[in-house]
Amino acid sequence: MSSISLIRASSRVSALIPALGLLGALLMTGPAAAQTAWDHAKVVGPTECAECHKAENEVWKGTHHFSTFTQLPRKKSANEIAERMGLRRIKADSLCLDCHFTTVEQGGEREPIAGVSCESCHAPGRDWKKVHSTYSGKKKGQESAQEIAQRWAAAEKAGMIRPKNMYRWAKNCYSCHVVPQEKLVNVGKHEAGSDFELVAWSQGEIRHNLWYNDGKVNEPASQNTKRLMYVVGQAVELETALRAVGKATEKAAYAVTMAKRAQADRASVAKLAGLLRIPELQEISAAGNGAGLKLNNNGELSAAADKIAAATQRLVAKYDGSSFGAIDSVLPPESSYKGRPAR
């Protein structure tokens, strides 16, 4: 049995983890799972959201998520990726559509209508748009606490991803930003993800904490929320990276980059577990270290990722960040935020 390292043994964190090996035989995998599988037939489009959410819509228009719609197809680099992937048009194939665009669906045909938009993050709205916004048929402020709770429960049941469900929306960011698609990376030469981190990337140009401030103040996330975001982000990134390694079939750019990412995430989660000493993080760290970063190991890696997912969801439900002061020194500084928040 030959074992080929995905990561050099001299790598600084390698002592912390089991040796990275790569078994010779190719893995049997299905098609690379795309970004969260939406039902595109349920997309209503950002114009409908903007009918009520004008301020959020204005913020969104200042982001790369908005501009990718018109910019991407014009880029030489994008067309080269498409060409290597054997695609005729960027906007005609579901591969690029899944991560760069919002599409509506008619008669089985997907038509791009925007870049990464409201429903790319809050989920397609057709089934929950009405229920989330109608105050249980009463006037604003007239619902009982029970009616409010029922309304949100109904909206979530109909698919809505609420800001409160940090695990869910974080997972969604990473499912695009890690770029867990082997062929796209190895053959298309698409970037194998970026240095995405939840606090820095959500608190810059993306930030639209406006609705509950009457659309007037774009409030930064509170210190407690940032702490929780940082921890959840590192855990979700580890989960995503393990799943990504699990899908790798050959030792090339994709497998190596994803393994390195997972290894860095292990170190980062271990550090947080040491600082916070909460059982959920110990569990996430142990699960993350329990599966070897090698080819042909999808079963173990997926099982580890499932454990991390379960523990992270419990963590989000249990803590609000107020007891996480010990990690303040590792939170990304404002100067590292991606883009400027809108006023």
Binding-site ranges for ligand HEC (CB under 6 A):
35, 44, 46, 48-53, 56-57, 60, 64-65, 68, 71-72, 75, 77-78, 81-82, 85, 87, 90, 95-96, 98-100, 116-122, 125, 129, 132-133, 162-164, 169, 172-173, 176-177, 179, 181, 184, 188, 190-191, 194, 196, 201-202, 204-206, 208-212, 221, 338-339
With respect to ligand HEC, which residue has the nearer C-beta, 100 or 247?
Answer: 100
Q: Quick check: 55 and 211 in contact, CB under 8 A?
A: yes
Of 200, 227, 203, nearest in space to 320 by CA: 227
d(CA 90, CA 218): 34
d(CA 169, CA 121): 6
Cα of first residue to Cα of last residue in the chain, in angstroms, is 59
CA angle 297, 303, 307 (to 5 degrees): 145
Q: Is the torsion defined by CA of 121, 123, 124, 128 positive or negative?
A: negative
Write out the two tokens for 13.
């964190």
d(CA 7, CA 294): 10
Name the minimum Å distance from CB 53 to ligand HEC.
3
With respect to ligand HEC, which residue has the nearer C-beta, 129 or 260?
Answer: 129
With respect to ligand HEC, which residue has the nearer C-beta, 188 or 288?
Answer: 188
Q: Quick check: 284 and 312 in contact, CB under 8 A?
A: yes
Name the minimum Å distance from CB 313 to ligand HEC.
16
Name the minimum Å distance from CB 147 to ligand HEC.
10
Write out the two tokens for 340.
């400027």
d(CA 148, CA 205): 31
With respect to ligand HEC, which residue has the nearer C-beta, 205 or 280?
Answer: 205
With respect to ligand HEC, which residue has the nearer C-beta, 201 or 254?
Answer: 201
d(CA 197, CA 292): 24
d(CA 251, CA 256): 7
Name the minimum Å distance from CB 237 to ligand HEC.
12
Name the minimum Å distance from CB 199 to ligand HEC.
9
With respect to ligand HEC, which residue has the nearer C-beta, 206 or 269?
Answer: 206
d(CA 68, CA 290): 39
With respect to ligand HEC, which residue has the nearer C-beta, 236 or 273?
Answer: 236
Name the minimum Å distance from CB 329 to ligand HEC.
22
Name the minimum Å distance from CB 139 to ligand HEC.
11
With respect to ligand HEC, which residue has the nearer C-beta, 64 or 314?
Answer: 64
Name the minimum Å distance from CB 282 to ligand HEC.
26
With respect to ligand HEC, which residue has the nearer C-beta, 121 or 248?
Answer: 121
Only one residue has tokens 């609705």, namely 211
Q: Quick check: 321 and 227 in contact, CB under 8 A?
A: yes
Name the minimum Å distance from CB 65 to ligand HEC.
5
Of 279, 259, 281, nearest in space to 271 by CA: 281
Write out the two tokens for 234.
């590192």
Amino acid at 43: V
